[in-house]
């Protein structure tokens, strides 16, 4: 008797849920025989307009490509050392690295490198292959990591002693002052 009452209760509940559209019923599908094996021609997608990146955003490189580009173009390197979990890294991306003056100056005078030391990879710097830990150690000149974010300015690319470290979040006006000093050197 208990089983019958339980079964009736469950059935009543299901009927209520279906009638109230709380449980979606599968829609019937119909299959039709193929009348032709030809497919309709694919529509071409419109080509997006290309905007000049130097005016709108910083062009970021990995260390190997950025280093090679900086050497080729005789520019200094700005290395943004960040992690995915770092709150202040994200704030710096939004507030500092999206500032129009900073975007323009970095794209004109420097090569911007994004480097997450928590992601393993090989980086070629001055003909030397380094893993991420070695690169972070190289940028810190063998010293202790200063935390995240840290921005490195590297003017003389063949000299690791010429790397200047700026740990912590930097507001756009302060960062602008720092980048101006490197542009004037």
Separation of alpha carbons 106 and 96, rounded Å: 12
- The pTM is what? 0.68
Each domain of the chain, given as residue ranges in start order, spans 59-184
Respond yes or no on whether the N-terminal peptide bond of residue 149 is cis (omega within 30° of 0): yes
pLDDT tens for each residue of 68-104:
999 999 999 999 999 999 999 999 999 999 999 999 9
Q: Is the pLDDT of residue 33 over 50?
A: no
58: tokens are: 């910083």
140: tokens are: 């810190």
Separation of alpha carbons 10 and 3, rounded Å: 10
So what's the architecture of 59-184 in CATH?
Answer: 3-Layer(aba) Sandwich (3.40)
Tokens 């720092």 identify what position? 178
């Amino acid at each position: 008797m208990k089983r019958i009452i339980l079964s009736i209760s469950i059935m009543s509940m299901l009927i209520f849920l279906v009638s109230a559209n709380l449980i979606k019923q599968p829609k019937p599908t119909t299959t039709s025989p193929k009348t032709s094996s030809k497919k309709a021609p694919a529509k071409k997608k419109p080509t997006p307009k290309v905007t000049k990146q130097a005016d709108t955003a910083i062009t970021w490189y990995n260390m190997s490509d950025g280093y090679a580009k900086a050497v080729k173009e005789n520019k200094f390197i700005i290395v943004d050392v960040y992690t995915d979990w770092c709150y202040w890294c994200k704030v710096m991306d939004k507030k500092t690295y999206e500032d129009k003056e900073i975007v323009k100056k970095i794209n004109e005078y420097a090569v911007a490198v994004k480097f997450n030391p928590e992601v393993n990879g090989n980086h070629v710097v001055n003909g030397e292959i380094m893993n991420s830990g070695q690169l972070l150690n190289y940028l810190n000149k063998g010293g202790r990591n200063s935390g995240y974010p840290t921005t490195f300015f590297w003017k003389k690319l063949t000299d690791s002693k010429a790397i200047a470290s700026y740990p912590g979040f930097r507001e756009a006006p302060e960062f602008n002052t720092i980048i101006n000093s490197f542009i004037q050197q």
